Amino acid sequence: MIIKENGWYYFHIRGDFTPVCTTEMIAFTRAHTYFKQLNTELLGLSVDSNSSHLAWMYDIYCKTGIQISFPIIADRNGQIARKYGMIANDISNTETVRNVFIIDDKGIVRTILIYPMNIGRFIPEIIRIVQALQMAECAGGSTAANWMPNQPVIVPPPQTFEALQERNEKIEKNRNGISWYLSFKEPPEKCIKENENQKFIE
């Protein structure tokens, strides 16, 4: 489901030449390789014009030597922002809130994060979410609180009383859970291989 081939990690930029967003542009560019390793691409969206995007990207390049490595959509009339619920109507009819959208290869939004205007996005957590979505999909389970790549995943709960009893017996034998509704399994080797080289430290 999540970003196996042509899916996009999609994030919104509040506006060009803003300080927090400038740091995010740089941080996302530095992390772009890690997203690509997860079959995930970056795409920016801003209500500013294409000319403004180019000027901003050029200014970043002149000041830092960093070339922004992903496209930015010029959503001048806010049509895309409104469809995704990014217009903060209680604040302004045109000003957008800062969002992250993780969209899978079927065009389904799998995760939405909303940030205050004065708080920058934490790139390692966004990468971890992509990894967790992919691992849960591959392993056929769920990921626990504070899950990190290659840790055990949660087994789906049993659907019958007989299966419940079997699950409790396995937990008693393997010490891999606390009760029938919460037990763990090691992810399949193929799932581990998909995640093993995707660790990111900023």
In this structure, what CATH number is given to the domain that contains residue 163?
Answer: 3.30.1020.10
| Same-domain check for residues 99 and 164 | no
Q: What is the DSSP string of 113-181?
A: EEE-TTS---HHHHHHHHHHHHHHHHHTSB--TT--TTS-EEPPPPSSHHHHHHHHHHHHHH--EEETT
Residue 16 inside a domain? The answer is yes
Q: Look at residue 7 in the predicted model and tell me its pLDDT.
A: 57
For the entire predicted model, the pTM comes to 0.86
DSSP classification of residue 94: S
| Same-domain check for residues 63 and 74 | yes
| Same-domain check for residues 76 and 114 | yes
Indicate the SS3 state at residue 45: strand
Which residue, 86, 112, 133, sits at the end of a domain? 133
Q: Look at residue 106 in the predicted model and tell me its pLDDT.
A: 85
123 CA to centre of own chain = 9
Q: Look at residue 89 in the predicted model and tell me its pLDDT.
A: 57
Q: Can you give the residue range of the structural domain that contains 18?
A: 8-133
Q: Look at residue 1 in the predicted model and tell me its pLDDT.
A: 31
| Same-domain check for residues 190 and 141 | yes
Q: Look at residue 2 in the predicted model and tell me its pLDDT.
A: 39
Q: Which residues are catalytic?
A: 21
Closest CA to 24 of 44, 8, 9: 44
Residue 202 inside a domain? The answer is no
**Residues in Cβ contact with 196 at an 8 Å cutoff, skipping those fewer than 6 apart:** 149, 150
Bridge partner list, 183: 177
Total domains present in the chain: 2
Residue 48 inside a domain? The answer is yes
pLDDT tens, residue order, the chain (202 aa):
334 445 556 666 667 788 999 999 999 999 999 999 999 999 998 888 999 999 999 999 999 999 999 999 998 888 888 888 776 655 444 455 678 999 988 889 999 998 888 899 999 999 999 999 999 999 999 999 999 998 999 999 999 999 999 999 999 999 999 999 999 999 998 888 766 655 544 4
